[in-house]
Amino acid sequence: MNSALILGLSGLALTPEERAFFAELQPWGFILFKRNCESKEQVLRLTDELRALSGRSNVPILIDQEGGRVARLRPPVWRLPPPAWTFAEIYERDVETAEEAAALNSRLIAAELREIGVNVSCSPCIDLLHDEGHGIIGDRALGREPHQIVQLARAVAEGLMDGGVLPVIKHIPGHGRAKSDSHEELPVLEAPHEELSRSDFVPFRSLNDMPMAMTAHVVYTAIDDERCATWSSRLIHSVIRGEIGFDGLLMSDDVGMNALTGGFDERTYRALVAGCDVALHCSGDMGEMAEVAKGSRTLEGDAARRAEAALDRIAPPSDFDPEQGAARLAHLISGGTAIV
């Protein structure tokens, strides 16, 4: 049985301590960061070892590869994808071109990830860009209007899935209005529920068929004025599962972020009890992970069903020529038009 956890690791290869810890704990998945990625050959060795250690060929191995500021794979080894806002700007001149470019960029990302054994990309970020919001979203957004974000986000997600990589929509139910960075402190959002429902929640409701979503460490006072979404059973059950209608795998954002307080065991326990299917911990610090493990539990019941359903959606990549794809994407970004 797997633990309801996605864990990071410390470096370019597993340490003996990590190997023993992961073998005993059997986390559901793993997440990679820049510190884990030096070369294609090295990352593939690492992901091969994670698969062997887990005994599962489809063990989820995640990475944040949105593009722009949020890209763990970077030059000179890897292409740096453009930030999401690039496609929002193209959308202003031509919707079909923006959709083709967004899908093509994601297909290229998927090809790069599959080559190194990664099968989940923590993207797209489908938070609305609000001028009053903190810059942590900024050019990671696909637009200011829900309809635009829905169109572009679906293109991003389908591009990833065409390449055999699962997308993770984030940060459900919406981080764009938050005036602080949840990496640093807990954002408290005081907008009325009705206003959130007709704007920020729309992209998530429209993409509620996606396989995976990541919570926001944000307090929505109109729904639960005491607990952030990650820790709020009221918000998870009434809004994320109910109003938004998302029945895919729900993972927490990183329980190591400063928006959350208490020990790592408590942070993990509260996320899982509230209704997250799995808890995410990113730092790769062994002491922290040992505490996270104390707050975890076995992945079972509806959470296991949703986890299995998500992985069932990983399909073999469609035929694709990365060199031609990159040339086509450069043409579209520079002002070319979509194929009609």
Over range 124-149, report the average pLDDT: 89
Classify residue 337: in a domain, yes or no: no
The two structure tokens encoding residue 293 = 């493990």
Residue 147, C-beta contacts closer than 8 angstroms, at least 6 positions apart: 202
Q: What is the mean pLDDT of residues 306-320?
A: 96
Angle at 101 between CA 95 and CA 103, to 5 degrees: 105
Domain membership of residue 340 (yes or no) is no
What pLDDT does residue 66 have? 93
Q: For residue 12, is it within any domain?
A: yes
DSSP, residue by residue, 227-256: S-GGG-HHHIIIIIIIIS---SEEEEEETT
What does the alpha-carbon distance between residue 234 and residue 165 come to, in Å, rounded to a whole number?
A: 31
More confident call, 2 vs 182:
2
- pLDDT for 184: 74
CA angle 236, 239, 244 (to 5 degrees): 115
Q: Parallel, antiparallel, or unpaired for β 278-281 and 65-67?
A: unpaired
CATH number at residue 9: 3.20.20.300
Distances from the Cα of 143 to the Cαs of 22, 36, 83, 313, in angstroms?
39, 31, 12, 27
The pTM is what?
A: 0.95
Rounded CA gap, 317 and 305, in Å?
24
Name the band, by pLDDT with cuts 50, 70 and 90, for residue 19: very high
Whether the pLDDT of residue 182 is over 90: the answer is: no
Instruction: List CB contacts of 9: < 8 A, sequence separation 6 or more.
Output: 18, 30, 32, 36, 46, 284
Residue with tokens 């109003």: 243
Question: What are the CA-CA distances from residue 324 to residues 105, 107, 168 (Å)?
Answer: 12, 12, 26
> Quick check: is 170 in a domain?
yes
In this structure, are residues 212 and 248 in contact, taking their beta carbons and an 8 Å threshold?
yes
pLDDT on residue 247: 97
Domain range holding 109?
3-330
**Among residues 48, 183, 237, 312, which one is catalytic?**
183
Would 118 be classed as within a structural domain? yes
pLDDT tens, position by position, 74-95: 999 999 999 999 999 999 999 9
How many domains would you assign to the chain? 1
Tens digit of each residue's pLDDT (9 = 90 or more) over 245-278: 999 999 999 999 999 999 999 999 999 999 999 9
331 a catalytic residue: no
d(CA 287, CA 123) in angstroms, rounded, equals 28
Question: Does residue 145 carry a pLDDT above 60?
Answer: yes
253 is catalytic: yes
Give the integer Cα–Cα distance in Å for 156 and 221.
Answer: 31
- Exactly one of 253, 254, 277, 281 is catalytic; which is it? 253
- 321-332 burial, b for 16+ CB within 10 Å, e for fewer? eeeebeebbeeb
